[in-house]
Amino acid sequence: MSGKLEGRIALVTGAGTGLGSAIAEALAGEGADVVVHYRSSAAGAEEVAERIRRLGRRAATVRGDIGVSDDVRRMADEAFGAFGRVDVLVNNVGDMAANQMSWRELTPEAIDHTLDVDVKGTMLMTHEFGRRMLDDQQSGAIVNIGSRVVVEGSPRAPQYAAAKYAIIGITKSYAHALAPHVRVNTLGPGFVETPALLAREDWRSGRREAVLARTPLGRIPQAADVVPPIVFLASDDSRHITGAFLVCDGGHSMIGA
C-alpha cells in the first residue's frame, strides 16, 4: 500500500459484507479512516471496523436505509460529526435481483425494490454527501458502483440493467453539478465471486462456466481484484477524471472507443 488516501475520511455503503467490506479495508490500507455503513449486518460491520482499527486507522459504523431520505441525512450528520469531513464516498449498495432467474418472473414489487435501492439510494447518497462536500469543504470524490450489465443488458433481470443505466445518468449529472471541486465516477465491474453470487442458482448450474468462456483474462475475480480501480477513482491519481464509466470485467464486454 502506498498511502494514496492518507489523512482522508471515507464512507462505504454496504460495507459489512462482500465487496463493500473489501472496499472499506482497502481504503483503510491506503491510509483512510473509514465509516462503515450497514443496514442489517451489524455484526459484520463491527468486524470490518475492528479490522480497520487493527490497520492503525479510525473506524466508525453507521446504520441506515439509503433509500430513505431521513436516514441519509442522519447518516451524513453522524459521519461528518464523527470525523469532521468526508472526502470519499463509495456507493457500493445495490440489488442484483439475485433470486430472479428469468425475465418471466418479473413483478412490480421486484421493479420497485431494485429501483429504490440502486437508483433512489444512490441518488440520495450522492446528493446529500456531495452537497456537503461541495459546500463545507470544496473537495471530495464519489465512486458509484455500477455494472457491466449496461453494455449488453440483462435478459434475466431487466430492472437490474435499467437501474445500473440510471446510475450512469446520476454520475454524469452530479459530475457537472458538483464540479470543479467534487469528482463523481462509476466503476462497472463484471461478475465478482461474492457470497451472494456464489449462492445464485444459475451460477451453480452452468452460468459461471459460460462467463469464463467469454472472458479473455480467463478468471472470475474475487472482491479484492476489483478494489484497486475503486482506490484509483477515489484518489488523486484520477484527479482529472469525472463523469466517467470504467469497466472492470476481464474483457468480457469490450466496448469500442
Identify the burial level of 58 via C-beta atoms within 10 angstroms of its C-beta, where 0-12 means exposed, 13-18 middle and 19 or more buried.
Answer: middle
Residue 39 lies in a domain: yes
Specify the number of domains making up the chain: 1
Which residues, 6 or more positions from 198, have their beta carbon under 8 angstroms from its beta carbon?
Answer: 204
Q: Which residues contact 1 (CB under 8 A, 6 or more apart)?
A: 29, 30, 31
Q: Is-contact 142 173, C-beta < 8 A?
A: no
Range of the domain at 69: 9-192+227-247
222 part of a folded domain: no
164: in domain: yes
Q: Which three cell numbers stand for residue 234?
A: 477515489
For residue 218, tell me if it sits in a domain.
Answer: no
In a domain, 199, yes or no: no
Q: Would you say 96 and 157 are in contact if contact means Cβ atoms under 8 Å apart?
A: yes
Of the residues 38, 160, 165, 174, only one is catalytic, namely 160
Tell me, yes or no, if 160 is annotated catalytic: yes
Q: Cβ distance 36 to 50 under 8 Å?
A: no
Residue whose C-alpha cell is 446520476? 170
Residue 256's Cβ-count burial label (10 Å; 0-12, 13-18, 19+) is exposed
Per-residue pLDDT at 1: 63
Establish if 127 belongs to a structural domain.
yes
CATH number of the domain within which 242 lies: 3.40.50.720
Q: What is the pLDDT along the chain (257 residues), one digit of tens a residue?
A: 679 999 999 999 999 999 999 999 999 999 999 999 999 999 999 999 999 999 999 999 999 999 999 999 999 999 999 999 999 999 999 887 878 889 999 999 999 999 999 999 999 999 999 999 999 999 999 999 999 999 989 999 999 999 999 999 999 999 999 999 999 999 999 988 888 888 888 888 888 999 999 999 999 989 889 999 999 999 999 999 999 999 999 999 887 65
